[in-house]
Structure 1
Amino acid sequence: MKLKFFSFLNITLLVVLASVSIANAQVKPRLLVFKKTAGYHHGSIPLAALAVMKLGDENGFLVDTTTDANKITESNLKNYTAVVFASTTGNILNEAQQADLERFIQAGGGFVGIHAAADAEYNWPWYGKMIGGWFAHHPAQQMATLTVVDKNFIATKMLPTEWKRKDEWYHYKSVNPDIHILINLEESSLTYNKNGGDDAFKMGASHPIAWYHEFDGGRVFYTGLGHTDESYSEPLFLQHLLGGIQYAIGKNAPLKYAKAKSQRVPGN
C-alpha cells in the first residue's frame, strides 16, 4: 500500500512539475512587429523586423510580424505583451483598430516606435500624445552628434555620452511635454540646406531623438534612429533598441482588458 501511495505521489509530482514548466513557457513575452505603410516606405523595414526577431531569439521573447492592420484588434492583441511599429507611415488603422490599440495600451500593453512610427496617424490626437511627437521634417542624411542625457535607463546605459553616427535625423512637431528624453540631437552638428527651408524646422537646444514615458496605462519607448539599413547591424543601436523593447515589456504582467477605460465608439 505504501509503495502504491509513494508511486502515486511521484506521478502527481511529475504532473505538477510538468504543468509548472508548461506554464512558465506560456508566459514568455510575445511581440507583434507592425510594418504597414500608407506613405513613404522605408527599405530598412524588413531589416528592422528581422533584427527584432533575432533580439527575441537571443533574449527570451517571441516575435510575430505583420503588415495586416486586421491584426490590430483586441482579440488578437490579447496575445501580445507589446507592439512594435517599425517605420509605419500614413493613416494605417481604421477607427475600430485605433480604439483597440488604445485599449491595449490602457490594459498595460507596451509600445515601441522605430523611426517613422512618428510619421503616422496625424489625424489621431491620442496617437500623437502616445508616440510623443510627430515627424515634421528632416535634412539630408548625415553624421550627427547625439548627447545621451540619461544613462540610467535600460536603452541608453551602454551608450557613450557623446555618440556620433549617421542616420536620417527627424525634426518633430507637437512634442508631448511629458516624455522623458533619453537622447538629444545636437543641431549644431548638422548641415542644413538653407535654400531648401531646413532652417524653418529647427527645434533648438532641446531636440529629443529618443525618449520614453508611461502613457494611459502602458509603457512607450520611441527612437528616431533606424532609417538606414546599416542601423540593423550596428551593435550599439541594436542594444539601444533591445533596451527599449525590454522597457516596453516590463514585468510581463497579464493585460487587464476589463480595466481598460476606453469606451470610444468608431465614428465618435
Structure 2
Amino acid sequence: MEPSGGKAVIRSPRSHPVKRAGLGVGLAGLLATLAASGGLAAEKKNVLIFGLTKGFRHGDAIDKGSPIMKGIAESLGYNAVVSEDVKLLSPENVKQWNLIVFNNTTGTLFKEPEWRAAFMEHLKAGAGFMGFHSSTDCFYDWPEYGQMLNGWFSGHPWSQKVRTRVEDPDHPLMKPFGKGPFEISDEIYQFRNYKRSDVRILMSIDNSSVDVSRGGRKDRDYAICWIRPWGKGRVFYNAHGHGANVFEDKAFQEHIKLAMQWAIGDLEADTTPSKELDTAALAAKAVETLKAAKSDDERIEALGILSWCPHKEALDLAVAQFDVNQKVAAAAAAAVQGILAEPNEVPKERQIEVLKKALALTDSRDVRKAVRAQLGKLGVTDLPISVPPGFIAHWAVAGPIPNPKNELFEKGAPPETGVDVEKGFAFDGKDYAWKKALSDDDGIVNLNQALGNSNQVIGYMYAEVTVEKETEAELRLGSDDGFVLWLNGQRLGGQNANRACAPGSDKFKATLKAGANKVLMKVIQGGGDWSGCLQVVGPKGEAVAFTVAK
C-alpha cells in the first residue's frame, strides 16, 4: 500500500515482483494480510516496527519488544507491522510508513544510494522515526544517518541496574516517569559524534548510580534519550532496551506510547535544543550541594560532578568525604583522581598523600589503575597491592589436584581437616606444598597463574583473618568454577557449578572470633579460567577492620 491522492490503496502482490519464500512477516505476508482484511481505512496511520540485524542480535529485546510496541501502536488506532523484510524500506515502499521504528537494528541494513536518499527524503517530508538501543549501531558508512540520530554507538561501559535522570520532567514524553529517576537493569551506551546542543535531551544517566570512571567521556555527559526535528519529520531515540525487561516495564511502555504519538505527528512537544553543559555553574552547584548534603546520593552525585568540573574548593571537599562511609568514600576517591588528573597547582606532597588515601578507598579497578599511574608520575613506585575494601589480597594456595571424575567436590583432601602451610600435605600418593599468591587489583586470585594451567582439577586457597574482638560479618565469595568454603573448620556452603568468577555471587553470614580465623576455599576447575576471591564485610556491607598475614 502507499498513499495515492490522499487515499490508502493496496497494491497486489504482482505490483511487487519479489519472492515470497523466506519473507516471514515481510512484504508478501503483509500484503496478504491486508488483502484478507479488506484494506486499511484511509485515515489510519501506518507504523513499521523493524528489527533486522546484520551484526549483533538483541534477540530477547526484538522478539518480545517488537510485539509489545505493535500492541501499543494498535491501541492508538494505528496500523502496525512487525517485520525484518528490508524490502519494506525500498524507495517504492518506504513512503507508506508514517512512522518507522528501528528496534535494536545493527549493521548495514541496505547500501543502495537510492534507498538511502528515499529514506531520508521521506523522513524530512514529515514522517517519524524512533530508534531504540542498538539502532545507533547501524550504518556507520552513512554520515546522514549518524547525523539524524546524533551519533553512533561507541561502547557500553555499564551493564547493571542504573538510575536514569529525567532532565525535563515537564516534557510530555516524560510524564510516565514523574520527576524520576527511572531505575532499570540495562546495558548503557556511550556515543561518538554526539552533541548535546543538537537535540533536546530528555533523559541521562545518573552518574552516581554507576562507576563513572569506566566511561570514555571527559564531560561525563551520558545522555540516554533525546528528540529532534528532521526537516518536517520527527526523530526520537532512547538508548534503553538491551533486553525485553525494558520493554516490559509499564512506565517505559507509557513512554513509548507518548513517543509514538509525538513522532507520528499527533502530539505536540518542545524540541528546542538543550544547552551545552556549563561546567562552572555545575561545579558551583555541586559545591553547594556537597556542603548541605543530607544523603549519600546527593554527596555521590556532587562528587561525580566535581571530578571533572574544576573548582577551587573541589579537592578539599572531596577529601573531607573520605570519612563519611565506604560508599561515599569510594565516590570521593574517584573525584580526587579526576581532580588531580587535570593540570593543577596542588603541592606534590599533598597530591601523593590524598592519592594514596584514594587508592586505599576506591572500589573501582579503573580508578585504582588511574591512581597508580598518577602516583607513578609523581615518583611513587613502592605501592603495596591495592584491592577493594574488605577483599583478602594475600593467600596461601595449593594444587592442582586431579579431579577427572568431578568427585572432589564431596570427597575431602587433607586441607579440609587442617592446614599446615609449612609442611604441606600428601594426597593420592603425591606431595603438595603451599605457596604464596597475591590477588589482582579486583581482589581476584588467578589460580591458573598461581598453580599452573590445568583442567579438571581442584585447588585450595587459605588465609587467616585476624580481628581484635568477636565480630559479626558477611563473607562474600566469587569463584570460577565451583567452590566449597570453610571458616574455622566449619563448612559454610558450596556450589558444584561451571561459572565465571563474580565477586559477591555467594554470601555467608558468619561470626569471626577474636584473634585469627582460618578461611579455606576449595575451588573446582573444569576448564578455561580458574580463580577465586573473598571479601569480608559487616552484616550490612559496612567495613570490617581485619588483618591477614602476608
Give the shorter-chain TM-score range.
Answer: 0.7 to 0.9
Match of 2:131 in 1: 113
> Identity over aligned residues, as a percent?
29
Match of 1:167 in 2: 186
Match of 2:210 in 1: 190
Q: Measure the CA separation in 1 of the matches of 2:52 and 2:230.
A: 23
Q: Measure the CA separation in 2 of the matches of 1:216 and 1:166.
A: 35
1:248 aligns with 2:288: no
Letter matched to residue 222 of structure 1: Y
Match of 1:235 in 2: 250
Q: Measure the CA separation in 1 of the matches of 2:185 and 2:218.
A: 19
TM-score (norm 2): 0.39
Of 82, 86, 90, which aligns to 2:103?
A: 86
Match of 2:441 in 1: none
Bigger shift: residues 149-158 or 240-249: 149-158
Of 60, 68, 80, which aligns to 2:85?
A: 68
Q: Measure the CA separation in 1 of the matches of 2:110 and 2:170.
A: 35
Task: Measure how far apart 1:205 and its partner are.
Answer: 3.8
1:210 aligns with 2:228: no
Match of 1:38 in 2: 54
Query: How many residue pairs were aligned?
Result: 226
* Contact 2:235–2:263 (Cα < 8 Å) also in 1: yes
Match of 1:180 in 2: 200
Letter matched to residue 154 of structure 1: P
Letter matched to residue 193 of structure 2: S
Q: Measure the CA separation in 2 of the matches of 1:204 and 1:143.
A: 22
Cα gap change, 1:65 to 1:105, in 2 (>3 Å): same
Match of 2:142 in 1: 124
Q: Measure the CA separation in 2 of the matches of 1:153 and 1:61.
A: 23
Letter matched to residue 62 of structure 1: N
Letter matched to residue 180 of structure 1: R
Match of 1:26 in 2: 42
Bigger shift: residues 200-209 or 112-121: 200-209
* Contact 2:73–2:260 (Cα < 8 Å) also in 1: no
1:102 aligns with 2:114: no
CA deviation digits over 1:91-118, x for unaligned, max 9?
1122222111111112111000011101
Q: Secondary structure at the match of 1:168?
A: strand
Of 57, 60, 65, which aligns to 2:74?
A: 57
* Contact 1:222–1:244 (Cα < 8 Å) also in 2: no
Task: Measure how far apart 1:206 and its partner are.
Answer: 2.4
* Contact 2:136–2:152 (Cα < 8 Å) also in 1: yes
* Contact 1:170–1:224 (Cα < 8 Å) also in 2: yes
Q: Measure the CA separation in 2 of the matches of 1:210 and 1:165.
A: 14
Unaligned runs of 5+ in 1: 1-23, 193-197, 253-268
* Contact 1:31–1:64 (Cα < 8 Å) also in 2: yes
TM-score (norm 1): 0.78
Task: Measure how far apart 1:75 and its partner are.
Answer: 2.1
| Greater length-normalized contact order (CA 8 Å, ≥ 6 residues apart) | 1
Q: Measure the CA separation in 2 of the matches of 1:251 and 1:158.
A: 18
Of 145, 156, 164, which aligns to 1:146?
A: 164
Match of 1:3 in 2: none
Unaligned runs of 5+ in 2: 1-39, 268-550
Letter matched to residue 160 of structure 1: G
Task: Measure how far apart 1:200 and its partner are.
Answer: 5.5
* Contact 1:90–1:120 (Cα < 8 Å) also in 2: yes
Cα gap change, 1:207 to 1:30, in 2 (>3 Å): same
1:223 aligns with 2:238: yes
Q: Measure the CA separation in 1 of the matches of 2:243 and 2:219.
A: 24
Task: Measure how far apart 1:150 and its partner are.
Answer: 1.1
* Contact 1:154–1:247 (Cα < 8 Å) also in 2: no
Q: Measure the CA separation in 2 of the matches of 1:216 and 1:189.
A: 36
Cα gap change, 1:200 to 1:149, in 2 (>3 Å): closer
What is the root-mean-square deviation in Å for CA atoms of aligned residues? 2.2
Q: Measure the CA separation in 1 of the matches of 2:264 and 2:215.
A: 37
Cα gap change, 1:240 to 1:246, in 2 (>3 Å): same
Letter matched to residue 167 of structure 1: D
Task: Measure how far apart 1:153 and its partner are.
Answer: 2.6
Task: Measure how far apart 1:203 and its partner are.
Answer: 5.5
Letter matched to residue 51 of structure 2: K
Cα gap change, 1:233 to 1:79, in 2 (>3 Å): same
Q: Measure the CA separation in 1 of the matches of 2:172 and 2:225.
A: 13
Q: Measure the CA separation in 2 of the matches of 1:203 and 1:237.
A: 29
Letter matched to residue 53 of structure 1: K
Q: Secondary structure at the match of 1:156?
A: helix
Letter matched to residue 217 of structure 2: K
Higher gyration radius (CA):
2
Q: Measure the CA separation in 2 of the matches of 1:226 and 1:136.
A: 16
Letter matched to residue 230 of structure 1: N
* Contact 1:143–1:164 (Cα < 8 Å) also in 2: yes
Letter matched to residue 165 of structure 1: I
Letter matched to residue 96 of structure 1: E
